[in-house]
Amino acid sequence: MQGFVVAMYLVLVAALSTISSHGIVASSPTFDVINYGAIGDGANDDTQAFVKAWGDTCGDAGAQGPPTLVVPGGKQFKLSSVSFQGPCKSSSIFVQIDGKLVAPSSLREWTACPSGSWLVFQKVTNLNVNGLGQVDGQGSLWWGGAKALAFSDCDNLVVSGLQHINSPKNHISIQHCNGSTISNLNITAPETSPNTDGIDISNTNQLNIHDLNIQTGDDCIAINAGSSYINITSVSCGPGHGISIGSLGANGANETVEEVQVRNCTFNGTTNGARIKTWQGGSGYAKSITFDQITLNAVKNPIIIDQFYTNAESSVVVSGVTYTGFRGTSSSDEAITLSCCSVGCSDIILDNVQITSSTPGKTVTASCQNAHGSSNSTTPPVPCFT
């Protein structure tokens, strides 16, 4: 009996001591792509090994803890377009990427890309993708081509710690993924590369984004239709086109975005800082949006609402937008642009906004049409509010 108790004690100690830094219990099953035939020399196409490893990961019931797909470090895996489909058997799934994933290096190898994305995760709930690895989209072959990494219908998604470079199009797309977090990662593509958004969000609620470094040729983060309760904190953006709500309402669409908070972000040399963009003729709204504690370094349009002002019969309604604690410089003469259509923008508040020119001695101005609201301690002064 005593021996049994001692044995149980040793088993318990062993179990407790194997909990790794990622919170994965070491006894939980791992599926290493190398064991499925991946070579990782950067030349061989390892797609089939990933597909097989994913099949086993997703098929594991999770009785011994959440299954983990492992992509080991120190290797480079060439993948053609691949879809990691759920639903999976386990209630949660880990994907540990420590190695480098590289897209095909010739367009000929890109043929099968039906979803328009290179790597797709779909219908996997409680998916956690992390690691020290790199995701390289080889975008210089065809800027504007496929998106790199897309998540759709993945509730409670967690993505962290990876380096994303040179996607041909959007680097990370999130759609229909409620309750998710994206943090501690870098996204880099040339300033001149077209359509290379950092993170593109649509139809997603309750998303927390923090501690990112984004340098691309298009929007750092774009928040599109059907999205709400989005927090973006401590993101450093630039070069790029800034953080954008929309475009909303293109081609007469009825689209909404609400409850967005952007805080403690830095824009360095970007085309826009805080942007809201809608198209005439659409409907819906953008409302309850806050930009707070924003640092600007030579940003062309630090604050901009652009409704492509004409007297179109309908428009996306913009209301409840607050800009507080802006500091820094504008590279253009017009630091603040509130260009609203005849329906108008309402409840626009600027408080403690101080923007000067990045050219010493130059002054900057603000312009506005059909904007209603108030401002306090704001330079340049906004004509509609004084």
Binding residue for ligand NAG, selected from 48, 80, 85, 283, defined by CB under 6 A = 283
CB of 181 to ligand NAG, least distance (A): 8
Binding residue for ligand NAG, selected from 48, 208, 365, 369, defined by CB under 6 A = 208
* Three-state secondary structure of the chain: CHHHHHHHHHHHHHHHHCECCCCCECCCCEEEHHHHCCCCEEEEECHHHHHHHHHHHHHCCCCCCCCEEEECCCCEEECCCEEEECCCCCCCEEEEECCEEECCCCHHHHCCCCCCEEEEEECCCCEEEECCCEEECCHHHCCCCCEEEEEECCCCCEEECCEEECCCCCCEEEECCCCEEEEEEEEECCCCCCCCCCEEEECCEEEEEEEEEEECCCCCEEECCCEEEEEEEEEEECCCCCEEEEEECHHHCEEEEEEEEEEEEEEECCCEEEEEEECECCEEEEEEEEEEEEEEEEECEEEEEECCCCCCCCECEEEEEEEEEEEEEECCCEEEEEECCCCCEEEEEEEEEEEEECCCCCCCEEEEECEEEEEEEEECCCHHHC
Region 326-345 residues binding ligand NAG, contact defined as CB under 6 A: none
Region 216-275 residues binding ligand NAG, contact defined as CB under 6 A: 229, 231, 234, 236, 254, 261, 264, 266, 268-269
- Tell me which stretch binds ligand NAG (CB under 6 A): 52-60, 192-200, 205-213, 305-313: 205-213
Interaction pattern, residues 96-115, with ligand NAG; x per rule: CB under 6 A: --------------------
CB of 210 to ligand NAG, least distance (A): 8
Q: Is 183 in the site for ligand NAG (CB under 6 A)?
A: no
Q: Is 188 in the site for ligand NAG (CB under 6 A)?
A: no
CB of 366 to ligand NAG, least distance (A): 17
Interaction pattern, residues 40-79, with ligand NAG; x per rule: CB under 6 A: ----------------------------------------
Q: Which CB atom, from 48 or from 181, has the smaller least distance to ligand NAG? A: 181
Name the β-bridge partners of 274: 243, 303
CB 90 within 8 A of CB 65: no
Name the β-bridge partners of 371: 345
Region 113-152 residues binding ligand NAG, contact defined as CB under 6 A: none
Secondary structure letter of residue 25 according to DSSP: B
Catalytic residue IDs: 218, 241
Binding residue for ligand NAG, selected from 44, 83, 85, 186, defined by CB under 6 A = 186
CB 200 within 8 A of CB 177: no
Q: Is 163 in the site for ligand NAG (CB under 6 A)?
A: yes
Q: Which CB atom, from 236 or from 365, has the smaller least distance to ligand NAG? A: 236
Q: Is 352 in the site for ligand NAG (CB under 6 A)?
A: yes
Q: Which CB atom, from 337 or from 375, has the smaller least distance to ligand NAG? A: 375
- Tell me which stretch binds ligand NAG (CB under 6 A): 91-99, 179-187, 326-334, 335-343: 179-187
CB of 271 to ligand NAG, least distance (A): 13
Q: Which CB atom, from 354 or from 365, has the smaller least distance to ligand NAG? A: 354
Residues making contact with ligand NAG (CB under 6 A): 155, 161, 163, 178, 184-186, 205-208, 213, 229, 231, 234, 236, 254, 261, 264, 266, 268-269, 283-284, 297, 351-352, 376-377
